[in-house]
């Protein structure tokens, strides 16, 4: 432990992290007792202060006292993304005036933009859980430097100055590269910094890590080997994992979460499923559908939230790593492609999620790149007709990528995969 960096963490995060570093080795019985206690407290709060859940309990003829075990929670209906879109106001603690609060938002894994609120306690628990997952579970501490391949549209094209790099390295212990607008010059510049600082941990979107691995391999570029690579935000396909491990010479740790409820589960050094962050999330499988109750966000409780992702099983057997928390097995879903435009420019699949941030009339979208025609088709389901959104998309593609063959179609019919999953960004020949 390097004390100077621990001092940089806020005291509440440091305390929660210390708690999580102990609780991760609790037995299954203790885990379930803890979750039940937290769940009961949350349900009481939802019944007293959150109109949406009060109505839901009444409609089902239930009161919180009817939920006596963790399994009883399944008596309540799930919270769908559509419920979230329609009932934002009713889902918030009625004692709180949200007009002055920052709203968080996402396109989510099904391409359906959502708004939601999160309180301070939720944020602290989320921060602590991320430090445990992304530093300690891969054999490090919060003082380790982490290289991050991420994306945010507001920073596209800003470049990478030494000042920005140093600030990130010293303050956040992270070396950031925006992969939305990745081009070769920027990548080469980043790799220079990467080799200079030699971060022990590399984390990023699965597709960005895979792209980087393929790039390094095909250009025969050597980089300093990290201790661990962490894949987050997208599904890590076996072919991607294999290529990333080969190029970076270390194991890949898969990590699963979403913006609505943050970190959900992470791989341990055994790589035998993803351990659920049980202190923050109570996770159920409804068939193969992942259903989550977040235990910390009292401002806007997510109770039995259907995230939109699938897993084949929840393994309750003890893990060889010494942890007893349940493990998600064979996570599927969240399937975005990166779109490769003529000339080699790559648009990260998450780009469109950010593009539709704060555009409330977009109910659903799907983006299909047709390689043979060189055309990008953006399908939109809007709550009210608005031709300006089509212009905004075409202009953004032209300005940011010099790409002019973008078609916009207004529809409520979207293509699904054979397993019924809606992929919202993909390419076809
Ligand atoms: Zn384990």
Q: Which residues touch 289 (CB under 8 Å, ≥6 apart)?
A: 306, 309, 310
Burial, 265: exposed, middle or buried (Cβ in 10 Å; 0-12, 13-18, 19+)? buried
Question: pTM value?
Answer: 0.79
Q: How far is the CA of 107 from the centre of ligand 1 (A)?
A: 31
215 and 112, same domain (yes or no): yes
345 and 261, same domain (yes or no): no
Does residue 190 belong to any structural domain of this protein?
Answer: no
With cut-offs at 50, 70 and 90, classify the pLDDT of residue 419. Answer: very low
Does residue 186 belong to any structural domain of this protein?
Answer: no
Question: What is the domain-level CATH number for residue 355?
Answer: 3.30.300.30
361 and 285, same domain (yes or no): no
Q: How far is the CA of 324 from the centre of ligand 1 (A)?
A: 8
Q: How far is the CA of 85 from the centre of ligand 1 (A)?
A: 36
How many other β-carbons are positioned within 10 Å of the β-carbon of residue 96?
Answer: 15
> d(Cα 44, Cα 40) in Å, to the nearest integer?
6
- Determine contact, residues 21/15, Cβ cutoff 8 Å: no
Burial, 342: exposed, middle or buried (Cβ in 10 Å; 0-12, 13-18, 19+)? exposed
What pLDDT was estimated at residue 422?
Answer: 58
pLDDT at 254 over 90: yes
Q: How far is the CA of 257 from the centre of ligand 1 (A)?
A: 17
Q: Which of 301, 316, 334 is the last residue of a domain?
A: 334
What pLDDT was estimated at residue 152?
Answer: 54
Closest C-alpha among 427, 384, 364, 420 to residue 108: 364
313 and 386, same domain (yes or no): no
Does residue 160 belong to any structural domain of this protein?
Answer: no
pLDDT at 195 over 90: yes
With cut-offs at 50, 70 and 90, classify the pLDDT of residue 334. Answer: low
Q: How far is the CA of 214 from the centre of ligand 1 (A)?
A: 29
Q: How far is the CA of 327 from the centre of ligand 1 (A)?
A: 8
Q: How far is the CA of 322 from the centre of ligand 1 (A)?
A: 6
What pLDDT was estimated at residue 318?
Answer: 96
On average, the pLDDT of the chain sits at 87
pLDDT at 110 over 80: no
Q: How far is the CA of 29 from the centre of ligand 1 (A)?
A: 17
What are the φ and ψ backbone dihedral angles of 296, each rounded to 5 degrees? -115, -20
Over residues 254-260, the mean pLDDT reads 90
> d(Cα 86, Cα 79) in Å, to the nearest integer?
11
307 and 377, same domain (yes or no): no
Q: Which of 300, 334, 368 is the last residue of a domain?
A: 334
With cut-offs at 50, 70 and 90, classify the pLDDT of residue 108. Answer: very low
345 and 303, same domain (yes or no): no
233 and 282, same domain (yes or no): yes
Q: How far is the CA of 192 from the centre of ligand 1 (A)?
A: 35
Share of the chain above pLDDT 70, in %: 89
Q: How far is the CA of 3 from the centre of ligand 1 (A)?
A: 28
Q: How far is the CA of 263 from the centre of ligand 1 (A)?
A: 16
254 and 397, same domain (yes or no): no
Provide the residue range defining the domain that includes 369. Answer: 339-428
Over residues 223-242, the mean pLDDT reads 86
294 and 355, same domain (yes or no): no
Q: How far is the CA of 148 from the centre of ligand 1 (A)?
A: 24
What pLDDT was estimated at residue 358?
Answer: 66
Q: Which of 334, 349, 383 is the last residue of a domain?
A: 334
What pLDDT was estimated at residue 112?
Answer: 67
- Determine contact, residues 83/51, Cβ cutoff 8 Å: no
Closest C-alpha among 307, 309, 317, 311 to residue 329: 311
Q: Which residues touch 29 (CB under 8 Å, ≥6 apart)?
A: none
Helix axes 11-23, 120-131, angle to 10 degrees: 50
Across 320-419, the runs of DSSP E, i.e. the strands, are 327-332, 339-340, 346-347, 362-370, 375-382, 406-410
User: Residue written as tokens 């979403």?
Assistant: 258
pLDDT at 44 over 70: yes
Q: How far is the CA of 5 from the centre of ligand 1 (A)?
A: 27
> d(Cα 116, Cα 330) in Å, to the nearest integer?
28
Q: How far is the CA of 21 from the centre of ligand 1 (A)?
A: 14
In this structure, the dihedral spanned by the alpha carbons of residues 134, 136, 140 and 145, taken in order and rounded to 10 degrees, is 30
> d(Cα 232, Cα 266) in Å, to the nearest integer?
9
Over residues 198-203, the mean pLDDT reads 96
Question: What is the domain-level CATH number for residue 40?
Answer: 3.40.50.12780
> What string of DSSP letters covers 202-235?
EEEEHHHHHHHHHHHHHTT---PPPSEEEEESS-
Of 223 and 101, the structure prediction assigns the larger pLDDT to: 223
Tokens of 412: 């409520």
What pLDDT was estimated at residue 65?
Answer: 97
Say which DSSP state 135 is in: I
Does residue 153 belong to any structural domain of this protein?
Answer: no
* Least trusted range by pLDDT, from 139-153, 210-224, 265-279, 370-384: 139-153
Number of domains in the chain: 2
Q: How far is the CA of 232 from the centre of ligand 1 (A)?
A: 18
What pLDDT was estimated at residue 109?
Answer: 47
239 and 372, same domain (yes or no): no
Of 119 and 363, the structure prediction assigns the larger pLDDT to: 119
> What string of DSSP letters covers 24-78?
TT--HHHHHHHHHHHHHHHHHHHHHH-HHHHHHHHHTT--GGG--STGGGGGSPP
46 and 112, same domain (yes or no): yes
Tokens of 368: 């299909």
- Strand-pairing partners, residue 377, are 368, 407
* Least trusted range by pLDDT, from 88-92, 370-374, 415-419: 415-419
Of 178 and 324, the structure prediction assigns the larger pLDDT to: 324
Q: Which of 22-31, 93-102, 282-291 has the highest mean predicted lDDT (pLDDT)? A: 22-31
Q: How far is the CA of 281 from the centre of ligand 1 (A)?
A: 17
> d(Cα 213, Cα 280) in Å, to the nearest integer?
33
Pairing of strands 339-340, 346-347: antiparallel
Of 29 and 99, the structure prediction assigns the larger pLDDT to: 29
pLDDT at 335 over 80: no
2 and 137, same domain (yes or no): yes
Pairing of strands 274-276, 327-332: antiparallel
Does residue 159 belong to any structural domain of this protein?
Answer: no
Q: How far is the CA of 258 from the centre of ligand 1 (A)?
A: 21
With cut-offs at 50, 70 and 90, classify the pLDDT of residue 116. Answer: very high
Q: How far is the CA of 276 from the centre of ligand 1 (A)?
A: 10
Does residue 192 belong to any structural domain of this protein?
Answer: no
pLDDT in tens, 120-176: 999 999 999 999 999 999 999 988 999 998 765 545 455 678 888 888 888 888 888
Q: How far is the CA of 394 from the centre of ligand 1 (A)?
A: 47
Q: How far is the CA of 318 from the centre of ligand 1 (A)?
A: 8
Tokens of 11: 């005291």
Say which DSSP state 171 is in: I
Could you tell me if residue 384 is left (phi over 0), alpha (psi between -120 and 50 degrees) or otherwise beta? beta
* Least trusted range by pLDDT, from 1-10, 14-23, 251-260, 375-384: 1-10
What pLDDT was estimated at residue 412?
Answer: 81
Q: How far is the CA of 271 from the centre of ligand 1 (A)?
A: 7
Does residue 155 belong to any structural domain of this protein?
Answer: no
- Determine contact, residues 213/166, Cβ cutoff 8 Å: no
């Amino acid at each position: 432990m390097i004390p100077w960096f621990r001092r940089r963490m806020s005291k509440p995060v440091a305390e929660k992290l210390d708690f999580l570093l102990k609780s991760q080795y609790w037995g299954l019985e203790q885990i379930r007792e803890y979750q039940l206690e937290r769940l009961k407290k949350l349900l009481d709060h939802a019944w007293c202060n959150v109109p949406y859940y009060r109505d839901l309990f009444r409609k089902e003829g239930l009161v919180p006292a009817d939920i006596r075990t963790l399994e009883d929670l399944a008596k309540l209906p799930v919270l769908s993304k559509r419920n979230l879109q329609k009932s934002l106001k009713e889902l918030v603690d009625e004692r709180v005036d949200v007009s002055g609060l920052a709203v968080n938002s996402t396109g989510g894994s099904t391409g359906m933009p959502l708004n939601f609120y999160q309180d301070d306690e939720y944020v602290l628990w989320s921060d602590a859980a991320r430090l445990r997952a992304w530093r300690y579970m891969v054999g490090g501490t919060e003082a380790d430097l982490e290289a991050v391949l991420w994306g945010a549209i507001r920073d596209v094209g800003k470049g990478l100055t030494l000042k920005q790099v140093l600030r990130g390295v010293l303050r956040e212990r992270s070396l950031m590269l925006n992969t939305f607008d990745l081009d070769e010059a920027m990548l080469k510049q980043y790799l220079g910094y990467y080799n200079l600082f030699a971060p022990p941990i590399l984390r990023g979107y699965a597709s960005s890590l895979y792209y980087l691995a393929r790039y390094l391999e095909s250009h025969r570029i050597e980089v300093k080997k990290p201790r661990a690579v962490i894949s987050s935000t997208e599904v890590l396909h076996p072919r991607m994992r294999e290529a990333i491990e080969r190029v970076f010479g270390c194991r890949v740790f898969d990590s699963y979460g979403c913006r609505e409820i943050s970190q959900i589960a992470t791989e341990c050094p055994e790589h035998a499923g993803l351990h659920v962050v049980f202190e923050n999330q109570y996770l159920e499988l409804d068939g193969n559908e992942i259903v989550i109750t977040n235990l910390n966000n009292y401002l806007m409780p997510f109770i039995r939230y259907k995230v939109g992702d699938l897993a084949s099983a929840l393994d309750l057997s003890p893990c060889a790593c010494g942890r007893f928390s349940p493990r998600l097995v064979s996570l599927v879903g969240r399937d975005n492609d990166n779109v490769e435009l003529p000339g080699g420019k790559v648009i990260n699949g998450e780009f469109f999620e950010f593009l539709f941030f704060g555009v409330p009339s977009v109910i659903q979208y799907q983006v299909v790149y047709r390689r043979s025609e060189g055309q990008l088709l953006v399908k939109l389901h809007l709550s009210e007709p608005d031709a300006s959104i089509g212009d905004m998309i075409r202009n953004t593609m032209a300005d940011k990528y010099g790409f002019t063959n973008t078609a916009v179609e207004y529809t409520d019919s979207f293509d699904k995969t054979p397993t019924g999953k809606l992929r919202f960004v993909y390419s076809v020949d």
